[in-house]
Every structure is written in C-alpha cells, then in structure tokens.
Amino acid sequence: MERTDLVKESFEKKVVPAEVPSGKTSDYFGELVFDRKKMCKYLDADSLRGLLSCIEGGCPLDRKTADGVARGMKEWAMEHGVTHITHWFQPLTEGTAEKHDSLIDYDGKGGVIETFDGKALVQQEPDASSFPSGGIRATFEARGYTAWDPTSPVFILDDTLCIPTVFISYTGEALDYKTPLKRALKAVSDAAVPVCRLFDPKVSKVYSYLGWEQEYFLVDESLYSARTDLMITGRTLFGHNSSKNQQLDDHYFGSIPPRVAAFMRDLEVAGHKLGIPLKTRHNEVAPNQFELAPIYGETNLSNDQNQIVMNLMNRIARKHGFVVLLHEKPFDGVNGSGKHNNWSLGTDTGTQLLAPGKDSLGNLQFVTFFVNVLAAVQKHNALLKASIASATNAHRLGANEAPPAIVSAFLGKTMTDVLHKLLELPSGTPIEIAGKKGRNLDLVEIPEIFVDNTDRNRTSPFAFTGNRFEFRAVGSSANCAGAMTTLNTAVAEQLLDFKAAVDKELAGGKTLGVAVMDVLKPIIASVIDVVCFDGNGYTDEWLKEAERRGLDIETNVPRMFTEFTKPSSVEMFTRTGVYSEKELVARNEVKWEMYTKKVQIESRVMVRMALNHIIPAAILYKTAILKEVALSKEVYGDLEHCSTELSLLSDLTRRIDEVRTKATEMREARKKANSITDDYERALAYHEIAESFPALRRPIDKLEEIVDNRLWPLPKYRELLFIS
Ligand code: ADP
Ligand code: MG
C-alpha cells in the first residue's frame, strides 16, 4: 500500500470499544493473581502455614509444602482454563522471558492427565544458554536455573500460569535483574532497621517502596509497519520535524483521544485483574505521548508489575490498531519517554521514613533518612547515572527536555531552609512542625502542609517531592530494578556508616539528638554544596557548575559502565552482599555487548534504509525533474524557464551524494569496530558510530523536505504523531 493510503486508513479507523467487566473494579481486582485470599481458599492448612512463613519469614520451602502449594495453585489455575505453566523471569536482555510447559503428563493408562508438582513450581532449568551472562555461564559447570520467588505472587496470563522466578547460575551468580534487587532490598532493610531502632525499638523491617510512572508513545500499526526503523529499533532514525509538534503544549493533560482512551481502559482492566493498582492515566507533553502510573507498592512487587504492564501494553495496543513505543526517544525534536521511579522507605510499624514525623523525634528520624539519602546519592552519583544508562536512554538524557546526564538532587525551598537552619542551630535543637507551637526562631521548623506541596522541578534527575524522592532519569524501556538495586544499596551502605558514627557518639555519652546531629551536620554541609541543586538543570551553566562541584559529567555510555567496577562501587556492593566482584565484571560485559548490539542494529538499519529507501526515492524525483528539464529545453530551446528545476537538481544531487558518502563511511566504521575483540573497546568504537548518526540523518531529513511528497516512502512525523 502507498504511504498516503496508509495514512488515510489510519485516519479512518474506528474506536474499538473496551471490554469492561460488569460490576465494580474491586469485584475483579486481583482475580488472576494467586494472592492471600486464594491461598486461604485453595491450600490445606499445612501448606498455607509453610508458604506464609516462607513469604514473611524468609524460611526455605520444603518439598512437601511446595507440593501442597502446587496442588492448590493447579486447582485454581484450571478453573481459569490454564493449560500451561511458565517460570517467568527477568534476564539481562530487558523484558521478560518465558518458557511454557504444558501441564500434561502420561497417566500410565495410555492417556494424559494434568500434573503440576512442587518441583515444577520451585525450580526449572531453562535451556538458557543464549541469555547474556557475561562469561559466567561460559564456564563448564555454570548452567542457569530459575527458582520461584514466593514473595512475588503467581499470576495467570491467557492460558498460562506464570511463576515469577529468579534466574541464577549453578555457582550462585545472578543472571537476572530480580536477584540483585532482592539482595539490595534486604541490604537496605538490614541497614535501616538499627537506625530506626534509635528512634523506635519496635521496628523490625524496613520496606523500600516504588511507584513508577511509565511514559510511552502510541503509533498507528499500519504506519508503523511501513517504517523499518520503528519496527526493528523501536525508534525513528530519520524524519523531518512536523511543522506543529509540542510547541503549543496542547497535548499535555489534554483530553484523551477516543481510540486511545479505549486502549487505556482495556489496559487498566487487564492490570486490575492481575492485581496491579493502576491509578493515573493522562496525555504527556509530546503529541501521541501518554503516561500511566499505579499506586506505589513494595519495590520487588511493583517492579514485577511494571514488567507485566509493559508486556500487556503491547498486546492490548494491537487490539486497538496501535503499537506502543517504549523507546526513550522514538522521535527527534519532541520529548522522550522516561519512567520516573518514585522511591521511599517505610517501616513495618507504618512510619514513612522520608516524610516529616508526628513529633520532634519523628522529625529527627525523617531528617536522618533524608540527609543520608542525599549523602548516598552524592557519593555514588556517577554510579547511579551508570545504573540508568543504556544505548537507548542516551538519546534522551541531556536532550534538552529531560534531566541532563548529571545526577544532582532537588530539595525545594522548604527542605533547603530546614537544612540551613539545622546547620545554624546547636545540635539537639528540636525539629518541630511549624504552627504547632507558633513561630519560634530558636527551633527548626517544618511547615505543616508539606506533602505534595513542595515546588516541582522537572529538570532534576532526583527530586524530593514531600514524602519520597523521584528518580526521574530512569528510561522508559528500562527494568526499574537496575536503578532500584543501586539506589537501595547506596543508601544501605550510607546507613551502615552513619549508624557506626552515631554509636561512637552515643558511647561518648551524648544524647541521641546531639549525637545524631553531630554526625549529620558535616554531611549536610557537604551535600548542600555539592549534590543539592535546585536551579535549571538544562542550562550550560549547570554543566560547568556541576563539573566544578566534582559531580560526574560523563556522557559516554560505555565509559559510564566502568563505574560499576571502580573500587568504591565494588566495596559498596560486596559489603552489602548485593553483587560479588565477579558478578559486577560479568554484568559490565553484558552491558557493553548489549550497547554494541543496539547501536550496531540501528546503524545497519540506517544504512540500508538510506540506500534502499531514501536514495531510490530521491533519484526517482530527480529523474522526473531531469525529464522535465529536457522537455523544457525541447520546447523553449533554452533552460531559462527551469531555474527552479535546476536549483532543485543541484540540491538533490548534493544531498544524495552526501547520503551515499555518509552511509559508506558508517559501514566502514562498523567493519573496523567489528574487528575489535575486547567488549569495552568495541562498545567505545560503537559509541563513536552512534555519534555519527546525525551526520547521515541530516541530509536525509533535508531530502524529505524537498522530494515530492507523493514519492516519499516513509510515513512522516506529522502523520505518525497525530492520532485523530
Ligand atoms: P506526578 O505528579 O509526579 O506525575 P503521579 O501521580 O503520576 O505523579 O505519580 C506519582 C507516583 O508516586 C505514583 O505511583 C504514586 O503512588 C507514587 N508515590 C506516592 N507516594 C509515594 C511514596 N511514599 N513512595 C513511593 N512512591 C510514592
Ligand atoms: Mg505523572
């Protein structure tokens, strides 16, 4: 089909109504999850007790209990028409992996029966030799296996029972995202509990919470299928800006187009059935860009839910004739997509540790956690950036409408004032909620109306928003676990150091208030001058200032990854038990390899499209003009009547030559890069290739402007970006 026909077809598509179950959301919420309610209904008493002590107390699951649990799950699953099971895991390729097994087995009488036992529930050995492992699995004994994570509930997708698992090598190394995340969550709890007990001896566990906001683009599937670049790389590698894009700000929070609204509704229903508390949906800044967010939850669970949602989005979009783009930068010149990670810590006694407390002791605890988080972010700012870096996110960061490739923290005026006041006043001064006791200049005061009342700064990668920090630099296609593992570990390490320092002060006879503030004051003085920045992060001045302050300003992604194996990082990860040095080295190999492959694929697509799509279209147009010129000459006997044609011809020829030259150069650069054997060096060479993309793109985008609209083969931005 011609491009113009595809555009017409997409324009005329009708709304496909969403299928919403009758009744209230609460009636079907969690219907497809094996949650507590189902456990009570389908498990015998022993299995239930065994499973709960495994989930709550971390006790291992014995074979008998596992068999009992599997029996109950099978019964529940078969009532929902389930025929298959899969261990569902999160390999380092991003996305999730599944290997489905049918429930059938021979019954010994010539037929089959449905079986599912504890062994199949607890452990599987996927033939996973082609998942990236960075050399760990290359060794003889190190095959990988998946093991059930009972803290993540089992769920049903279509006809399949999905069992969330970790993926590890036989020598115990993590081959996935979930394993280190779980270790980091344990580390932060283990480090935070003793700190909490300074304030409240009843605390026995600290939870890390995550509330993600997923941004994405929708494009019509017919137009998508006509763009090789979108289909293969998830982003447009060429495309001239639309005359209108986001300059009028008319899309943000605008009314949701009906086809999109129907898609969102179906997505919500599917999410709700899976127990995912999807809450917010709205248009984003760029045309055709949208966002959805759930109510926050415990980090491991919330991250699983994000992975499930990313998967659901794509399936459900097809029903509505859309394709979802989760890429961080699908279109040049308009905003990219992120996945803000709202993060906080809370105790099992119900205290939010990053929100002001009920009294001055609670406020001291809040300030303690608040300042220690800033210290962790300051110390490991380069590593945190490395944790969100990827070939795809590189196009977004620093691209003028997203946080820059510098990790700083935004506090807002209220907390900045509180920190300054704390420095001024003697240690031990109570921190009160303002208004309770009238204004008092001798007190540190926190305004009463505080949560969600803080000023917003959309340019900061790590912003305090009243009761949590929002790590905004995370990419839309990323697994949140990358960022969450690093952040929670960094905070764990900082809390260990803090606790040791406070213990020393307490041993010297100081009161708690004095001891805590004596340790916090030098930290506050340091973070205020370095990592805290409330100004506009998009400016060049900030870049210079950040460098002066000693924050990391590296923009080269392969080089950023080296942060993971620097001594301070190795020390942090090994001390907290989150990664061994071997794992860190292996994972970097995977990251470089992934980076290389992504850029390699984009570069191949770019060159082939330039040679097979763009140049032929431009030559077709050139031929038409040449014919026209020849005809003019014949009729008029001179070229006086075709000055426009002649100027177009020279423009066309120049651009076509430029495209060919740049494409050839890129191909040569790739050949050279491919001959490099060292993973890191090859990734660096591919970084150079990525940097050369604009040089090939520019003449192509110029050609799009001058070639006859009817001859241009690729759907244009103005067609892709506006859904009616
Ligand atoms: P924004 O105004 O930043 O776009 P949204 O409402 O879209 O905010 O998303 C905010 C996210 O932060 C939601 O997922 C919300 O549940 C989550 N959130 C709220 N409080 C906390 C908290 N204490 N810890 C973690 N996440 C939180
Ligand atoms: Mg939002």
Classify residue 562 by its DSSP letter.
Answer: G
End-to-end CA gap in the chain: 21
Q: How many CB atoms lie within 10 A of CB 405?
A: 25
Ligand 1 atom 11: residue of nearest CA: 211
Segment 319-328 mean pLDDT: 96
Whole-structure pTM value:
0.95
The count of residues in the chain is 724
Task: Give residue limits of the domains in the chain.
Answer: 27-176, 185-579, 592-720
Determine which residue's CA is closest to atom 24 belonging to ligand 1: 344
Question: What is the residue-averaged pLDDT of the chain?
Answer: 92
pLDDT for residue 598 is more than 50? yes
Q: How large a percentage of the chain has pLDDT more than 70?
A: 94
- Ligand 1 centroid distance, CA of 189 (Å): 21
pLDDT tier, 303 (very low <50, low <70, confident <90, very high otherwise) = very high
| 523 has a pLDDT exceeding 90 | yes
| Cα(487) to centroid(ligand 2), Å | 21
Nearest atom within ligand 1 for CA of residue 291? 7
Token reading at 31: 């219907």
In this structure, which ligand is nearest to the CA of 469? 1
Pocket lining: 451 vs ligand 1, CB cutoff 6 Å: no
| Closest residue by Cα to residue 442 from 456, 422, 458, 462 | 422
CB-ligand 1 contact for 295 (6 Å cutoff): yes
- Residue with CA nearest ligand 1 atom 1: 213
What is the 291 CA–ligand 1 centroid distance (Å)? 13
Q: CA 583 → CA 136, 173, 487, 586, 597, distances in Å?
A: 8, 6, 18, 5, 21
Q: What is the mean pLDDT of residues 526-551?
A: 91
What is the Å distance from ligand 1's center to 553 Cα?
28
Overall CATH class of domain 185-579: alpha beta
Q: How far is the CA of 154 from the centre of ligand 1 (A)?
A: 25
Q: Is the CB of 440 under 6 A from ligand 1?
A: no
- What ligand has the least distance to the C-alpha of 277? 1
Over residues 627-676, the pLDDT tens digits come to 999 999 999 998 888 999 999 999 999 999 999 999 999 999 999 999 99
CB neighbours of 261 closer than 8 A, spacing ≥ 6? none
pLDDT in tens, 134-150: 766 554 445 688 999 99
172 or 403, which is more confident: 172
Residue 512, classed as helix, strand or coil, is helix
Q: Are the beta carbons of 158 and 151 closer than 8 angstroms?
A: no
Centre of ligand 1 from the C-alpha of residue 170, in Å:
38
CA 521 to centroid of ligand 1, rounded, Å? 30
DSSP 3-state of 469: strand
CATH class of domain segment(s) 592-720 = mainly alpha
Which residue's CA lies nearest to atom 4 of ligand 1?
213
* Tokens found for residue 204: 């026995």
Q: Is 351 helix (H, G, I), strand (E, B) or coil?
A: coil
pLDDT band at residue 364, thresholds of 50, 70 and 90?
very high
Query: From the CB of 146, is ligand 1 less than 6 Å away?
Result: no
- The answer, yes or no, to whether any atom of ligand 1 lies below 6 A from the CB of 290, is no
Read off the pLDDT of residues 386-410 as tens digits, 9 standing for 90 and up.
999 999 999 888 665 566 789 999 9
Cβ distance 482 to 587 under 8 Å? no
Does domain 27-176 fall under CATH 3.10.20.70? My reply is: yes
